[in-house]
Amino acid sequence: MIEISPRFFRHSPSLLARTAFFVMLSLLLMALDSRSKYLGGVREIFSMIVYPLQKLAHVPMSMYDATSELFQHGEIAEENARLKQQHLVDKGQLLRLRALEAENTQLRKLLNATQRIENKATVAEILRVPHDPFNRKVLLDKGSMAGVESGQVVVDDIGVVGQVTRNYPLASEVTLLTDRDHSVPVQVVRNGLRSVVSGTGREGVLELRYMAINTDIQEGDVLVTSGIDGIYPPGLPVAAVSQIERNPNYIFARITCTPASGVNQNRQLLILSARAPRAGTPAEATKMKPRPQEARRQ
């Protein structure tokens, strides 16, 4: 039975059959990955293989940083002086903030309201911006070993960047605001109007969907997180309205916004680690909302 035909007649499955097998396998994987959660473990194992390579690919960047720092001594001194000044200014504000926080907790106690948990934050660096036009995601170099969980909010120094959607032991995946499947509940600073801003899948473009034509919204309006979802802490800047198209033929206005934060500009991001508690009623959230825009201008 074994080896009846001579060795040179033995065929492996035909090329087409092998290709078909692998095509089927990848289609199956795609279906599994998009419809269910079974592949989490597999992903984790693969991520451990890829992680050293990603680190290695990052080496030129960090070397460039190190060498450029070597040559920019003067600039650094200048920057240091400027930062010290900034630090002083910030410290003054922080003192005021502490006083306000203490006052706030006292008032909340009086009101018997839920205590706000202080947000702690982890600084993480962008490990990789995928060369992939299909999804707006970045990889950060902190993972579940550093206490990062999926669902946490990621911000930079200006505003919201996105949300951790997957975490591996040593890295985590952040879905950016501009991802097509990503939405953030927001509020217009000017008049407190609440809405949900969604990504479009294009870089630097967000959209306010399902807003009636006669909605009171203007170009240049600043949107901040409203905090009513219980995930995003209220008051973080998200975007500014860049263009409004009011076409009477449609029920809804086309409102496009530009995100406040720039993932392309900075490499360090902040992962807010504590989830904000549910902010009572929406009306209360509006009242309690700090105004970051004003705070920064002072």
Partner 1 sequence: MLSLIVALLLNLIPLTGTVRTLQPDFVALVMLYWYVNEPQRVGIGMAFWMGLLMDLSNASTFGQHALGYSVMAFMALVFNRRMGIFEGYKQAPQIGLVLLSGQIVTLLAGLFAGSPFPGWNFFLGSIVGMLLWPLLSAILRVPQKPWSASDAR
Q: Which of residues 194-233 bind partner 1 (CB under 8 A)?
A: 200-202
Tell me which stretch binds partner 1 (CB under 8 A): 37-45, 70-78, 104-112, 254-262. Answer: 37-45
Task: Decide: 183 and 150 in contact? Cβ < 8 Å.
Answer: no
What six digits make up the tokens of 224?
Answer: 């901040």
Nearest to 244 by CA among 218, 225, 216: 218
Q: Contact region for partner 1 (CB under 8 A) — 10-18, 147-155, 269-277, 280-288?
A: 10-18
Please choose, out of 126-134, 146-154, 249-257, 284-292, the segment that lies near partner 1 by the rule CB under 8 A: 126-134
Q: Which residues pair with 121 in a beta bridge?
A: 272
Handedness of CA 96, 99, 102, 107 (dihedral sign): negative
Which of 1, 4, 53, 110 is the binder for partner 1 (CB under 8 A)? 53
Provide φ and ψ at 44, rounded to 5°. Answer: -60, -45
201 — alpha (psi -120 to 50), left (phi > 0) or beta? left
CB nearer partner 1, residue 7 or residue 297: 7
By beta-carbon proximity to partner 1, the closer residue of 42 and 251 is 42
Choose, by CB under 8 A, the member of 7, 37, 131, 297 that binds partner 1. Answer: 131
Contact 245, 211 (CB under 8 A): no
How many CA atoms, within 13 angstroms, populate the side-chain half-sphere of residue 269?
33
Q: Is-contact 221 241, C-beta < 8 A? A: yes
* Cβ proximity to partner 1, 191 vs 264, nearer residue: 264
Residue nearer to partner 1 on the CB measure, 140 or 285: 140
Shortest distance in whole angstroms from residue 101 CB to partner 1: 37
Residues that bind partner 1 (CB under 8 A): 15-16, 18-19, 22-23, 25-30, 32-34, 39, 42-43, 46-47, 49-50, 53-54, 56-58, 60-61, 126-135, 137, 139, 166, 173, 180-181, 200-202, 264
